[in-house]
């Protein structure tokens, strides 16, 4: 297979390096402009791109109608729309503690969804 070179922006840390990735199919041969983590990111991006996801679910009995949530680890990028559609259907009740698991093993990925903040019961 022919070798290809392309620019890939690494999102692993805030520096956001533009990596020059040379690959043969799905195998990374060389990465310029990045650190070791950037090289790992380039390989991962080729075979199984993932992103951290932050979103919200509906909340009953709290100060706010929505609860912010996040994925425990980066989530498979092609399945993010499916995840967001599922989260739109979810409603949970207060009280909620910070980092509480809201959904376990979401969409059979082995990834959990956690609460980004605490929400107390609001009475009256």
CB of residue 33 to ligand SF4, shortest distance in Å: 7
**Between residues 6 and 91, which has the closer beta carbon with respect to ligand SF4?**
6
Binding positions for ligand SF4, 38-77, rule CB under 6 A: 38, 41
Contacts of range 77-81, beta carbons closer than 8 Å, 24 or more positions apart: 77/49, 77/50, 77/51, 78/49, 79/107, 79/109, 80/51, 80/53
CB of residue 54 to ligand SF4, shortest distance in Å: 20
**Between residues 12 and 94, which has the closer beta carbon with respect to ligand SF4?**
12
Reading the block at residue 99, the tokens are 């980092």
Binding test (CB under 6 A) with ligand SF4, winner from 3, 4, 6, 13: 13
Q: Which stretch binds ligand SF4 (CB under 6 A): 13-21, 55-63, 79-87, 105-113?
A: 13-21
Residues of this chain that bind ligand SF4 (CB under 6 A): 10, 12-13, 15-17, 34-35, 37-38, 41
């Amino acid at each position: 297979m022919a070798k290809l070179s392309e620019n890939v922006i690494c999102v692993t840390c805030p520096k956001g390096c533009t990596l020059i990735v040379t690959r043969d199919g799905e195998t990374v041969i060389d990465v310029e402009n990045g650190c070791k983590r950037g090289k790992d990111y380039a390989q991962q991006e080729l075979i199984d791109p993932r992103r951290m996801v932050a979103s919200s679910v509906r909340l009953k009995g709290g100060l706010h109608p929505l609860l912010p949530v996040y994925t425990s680890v980066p989530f498979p990028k092609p399945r993010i729309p499916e995840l967001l559609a599922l989260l739109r259907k979810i409603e949970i009740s207060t009280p909620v503690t910070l980092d509480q698991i809201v959904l376990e093993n979401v969409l059979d990925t082995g990834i959990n969804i956690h609460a980004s903040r605490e929400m107390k019961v609001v009475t009256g």
